[in-house]
Amino acid sequence: MKLRKLFVVCADMTRSFSALFRPGVLYALVALFLIWTVTPVVWVGIMSVQPEINYVAVPPHLRLQDVSLRWYSDMLAQADFADALKNSVIIATLTMVFCLFFGSLAAYPLSRLRLAGKRLFLFASVVMRMLPAIVLIIPMFLLIRLLGLRDTHLGLVIVYTTFLLPFSIWMLKNFFDQVPYSLEAAARMDGCSRLGALWRVLLPAVAPGVVATAVFAFIGAWNEFLFGLILSTSVATPVTVKISALVSSTFHTDTSLVAAAGMLAILPVVVLVIVLNRYIVRGLVEGVKY
C-alpha cells in the first residue's frame, strides 16, 4: 500500500533529522519546545493562586504570601462547575470502557483470524479520522437528536467512541500481534473457549497495552470540545465546554477564578498521565506499527 510507504518515509525522515544534530543541540531544541508548550500552563497555574492585581500588572509582582487556594474551593463550590467535572469523568470513563470492550472484540479477529478485507478495514478506519470533525457536526447532531440522546451522557459517549474506537482497535491489534498464538492455543487446550482465551489469557498478557489504550481513549474523550459543545446544553456539559463558557461569560470578572477552573479541568488527566506514564510510553512506542 502506498500509504504504508509514506509512513515509513516519514519515520525515516524523522530519524535522520534527529541524527543531523549533535545530542546537545537536540536537547536544546526539545527544551525550547517544552518551554513553548508548558509556559502557558504554568502561567495559568500561577494565575490560579494569586489575586488578579498581582499578575495583571506589568511587570507582574507575584507575592508568596498572597498564594491561596480559595479560588479552587470557590470554583468547586459552584454546582454547575462541579457537575461539569463529574460529567467529564463519567463520559470519559464510559468512552474508555466502550473503546476497550468493542476495541478488543474487533482487534481479536483482526489479529488472529484469517479474513479477507482486513487491511481495507484498518485503512478505512484510520482514514475516517482524517476527516475534519466540523464536517460531521450537522449529521451527528441530527442523528443524536433523532435518537433522543441530545444533552445526555450516553449521547456524548457514543459520539466520542466513534472517533476513538478506530485508534483503539489499531493499538490493541498491534499489542495482540505481539503475543504468539500458542498462548491462546494453550488456553484452549486447558479448557477456554476462544472468547474465554481472549478474556482470561490474551488481554492479561497485554495488560500494559490495554492500559495504554485506555489512557489514550480517556484523554481523547476528556479533551473533546467541539462535539461536547454542540451536543450538550445543560445537563451533560463536559468541563471543556464549561471552561469556555466561563471565559466568555460576563458573569465572572475574577480571572483567578477562571484560571483555577482551567487547572481543575486538566488536573485529572495530568494525575492519570503521571501515574500511568510507563504504560503510555509503551503504547506510543509499541502500539502503532505498520
Residue placing its CB nearer to other proteins in the complex, 104 or 255:
104
Cα–Cα dist 265/276, whole Å: 19
Grid look-up 492455543 returns 185
Burial class (CB in 10 A: 0-12, 13-18, 19+), 165: buried
Least distance to other proteins from the beta carbon of 231, Å?
A: 39
Give the residue from 140, 49, 94, 138 showing the smallest Cα distance to 238.
94
Of 200 and 252, CB closest to other proteins: 200
CB of 191 to other proteins, least distance (A): 4
Residues found near other proteins in the complex (CB under 8 A):
114, 180, 182-183, 185-193, 201, 204-205, 207
Q: How far is the CB of 48 from other proteins (least distance, A)?
A: 42
- Rounded CA-CA distance 185/167 in Å is 27
Asked if 287 and 209 touch (Cβ cutoff 8 Å), the reply is yes
Closest approach, Cβ 193 to other proteins, in A, equals 8
Task: Report the nearest approach of other proteins to the CB of residue 129 (Å).
Answer: 32
Cis ω for the linkage preceding 139 (within 30 of 0) = no
Closer Cβ to other proteins, 150 or 194, answer by number: 194
Distance CA 244, CA 90 (A): 20
Which is nearer to other proteins, 40 or 180 (by Cβ)?
Answer: 180
Q: Which is nearer to other proteins, 91 or 100 (CB)?
A: 100
Rounded to whole angstroms, the Cα distance separating 169 from 161 reads: 11
Tracing cell 457537575 back to the chain, one arrives at 83
